[in-house]
Amino acid sequence: MNSAASERRISAIVPTLGASPWLGQCLRALRDEGLSQDEMEIIVVCPAREPLALATELADLWLETGEPLGFAAATNRGIAAASGSWIATVNDDLIVQPGWAGALLQPLLDDPRVAAVQGVNLDLDHPERTDGYGLGWNEELQAIQLGHGEPPPPPDAETREVFGVSATAALYRRAALQEVRLAGRDEEDLFDTLFGSYYEDVDLACRLRNGGWTALAVPTARALHAGSLTGKRRGLRRSAQIYGNRHLVLARHLGSHYAPLLPRLLWRDGKDWLRALFGQPGLLVAIPAGWASALLRLPSYLHRGREHSPLRDPAARDLAGPRR
């Protein structure tokens, strides 16, 4: 492959446990983007030792992990094996629509300051509703999916800056990822593997913004998202990771502002715990478990210096959306 082709090549990373009923459609949609193997390679990361039949047909590379990995670790494994200059992260329950890759690549080619882009992800069962078109923060410093549950913006709407992109379906500039990789970690540790599967993309968005990079939402690019089957099966663990990892991200990036905000943050989590008495009993266990997990790791994330990422800038804030 010549250097010009490599510079435009997209490496699509699809982490999976092999159980998603949408995996075949996910891979087929990527393959049907009309891009040659010089323009896009599809890399599947899975615990299974033998490739699934559909992966043998549709994927260019099958990476066997031997054991289930969180999204962060599995995606890092795929990125390390990728050959493209552009890294697409794609959930195994997401189906890109025609033209998705090209629509996302163009803004990255046009502006060297842009590190990451995503399109509008629609609810698979209710495509008249938005699943999300970027990451932001609400008033209570909870990371949210922008536009969640709302009617989607029209395809011809203007591209807009967002705080960051959701790794559910995004395209990253590989050079930007390498620039903000975690200090003291393996070179392939781009997403923080200690986060498992939640808030890892939020943390990466913070690091990219701290490095001077920007992120965009591109309404022309569309995808259908079924929702996390793995997350639904692991409800308690998922909730614990969300509540715990949020504190680790804020401790890492708010610096000296984190400690003064801690009572407010815990009060907000506590309100969720009280509401759980009337309908979500699992959170009664998950929220304290998340706090305990965060407390054990907090010393390695906490710093006393300046705020790393401008969480309060205009691109960061939308006041609606689900917690990450």
pLDDT in tens, 117-159: 999 999 999 999 999 999 999 888 899 999 999 999 999 999 9
Please check whether residue 149 is in contact with residue 159, taking contact to mean a CB–CB distance below 8 angstroms: no
| Residues in contact with 131: Cβ distance below 8 Å, sequence separation at least 6, in sequence order | 121, 122, 123, 145, 148, 168, 225, 227
C-alpha 100/C-alpha 317 separation (Å) is 25
Average pLDDT over residues 69-85: 93
Average pLDDT over residues 157-169: 95
Q: How many CA atoms lie within 13 A of 153 on its CB side?
A: 19
Q: How many CA atoms lie within 13 A of 316 on its CB side?
A: 18
Phi, psi of 252 (to 5 degrees): -70, -35
Average pLDDT over residues 182-186: 73
Query: Which pLDDT belongs to residue 304?
Result: 78
Average pLDDT over residues 188-217: 92
C-alpha 231/C-alpha 93 separation (Å) is 12
The three-state secondary structure class of 281 is coil
In the structure, what pLDDT confidence band is assigned to residue 231 with cuts at 50, 70 and 90? very low
With 50 as the cut, is the pLDDT of residue 94 above it? yes
Task: Kindly tell me the sign of the dihedral angle through the C-alpha atoms of 81, 86, 87, 91.
Answer: negative
Please check whether residue 94 is in contact with residue 226, taking contact to mean a CB–CB distance below 8 angstroms: yes
Q: Does domain 3-227 have CATH number 3.90.550.10?
A: yes
Higher pLDDT, 168 or 227: 168
In the structure, what pLDDT confidence band is assigned to residue 6 with cuts at 50, 70 and 90? low
Q: Supply the DSSP string of 50-80, one letter for each residue.
A: S--HHHHHH-SEEEE-SS---HHHHHHHHHH
Higher pLDDT, 199 or 322: 199
With 90 as the cut, is the pLDDT of residue 7 above it? no
Average pLDDT over residues 297-305: 88
Domain map of the chain by residue range? 3-227, 232-312
The three-state secondary structure class of 86 is strand
In the structure, what pLDDT confidence band is assigned to residue 54 with cuts at 50, 70 and 90? confident
C-alpha 298/C-alpha 36 separation (Å) is 45
Query: Which pLDDT belongs to residue 5?
Result: 53
For the chain, report the end-to-end CA distance as a whole number of angstroms.
Answer: 39
**H or E element in which residue 115 lies:** strand 114-123
- Report which of 284, 265, 251, 263 is spatially closest to residue 142, judged by C-alpha positions: 265
Query: Which pLDDT belongs to residue 278?
Result: 84
Exposure string over 129-150, b if 16+ CB within 10 A, otherwise e: ebbbbbbbbbeebbbbbbbbee
Query: Which pLDDT belongs to residue 209?
Result: 93
Share of the chain above pLDDT 70, in %: 89
CA dihedral 307, 260, 203, 151 (to 10 degrees): -110
Lowest-pLDDT choice from 184-198, 206-220, 264-278, 310-324: 310-324
Share of the chain above pLDDT 90, in %: 63
With 90 as the cut, is the pLDDT of residue 115 above it? yes
In the structure, what pLDDT confidence band is assigned to residue 112 with cuts at 50, 70 and 90? very high
Element counts in the chain: helices (H) and strands (E): 11, 12
In the structure, what pLDDT confidence band is assigned to residue 76 with cuts at 50, 70 and 90? very high
With 80 as the cut, is the pLDDT of residue 322 above it? no
User: Strand (E) positions, 154-229?
Assistant: 160-162, 169-173, 214-225
What is the average pLDDT value for the chain, to the nearest integer? 87
With 90 as the cut, is the pLDDT of residue 276 above it? no
Query: Which pLDDT belongs to residue 234?
Result: 52
C-alpha 185/C-alpha 189 separation (Å) is 6
Please check whether residue 97 is in contact with residue 223, taking contact to mean a CB–CB distance below 8 angstroms: yes
C-alpha 164/C-alpha 209 separation (Å) is 8
Query: Which pLDDT belongs to residue 200?
Result: 95
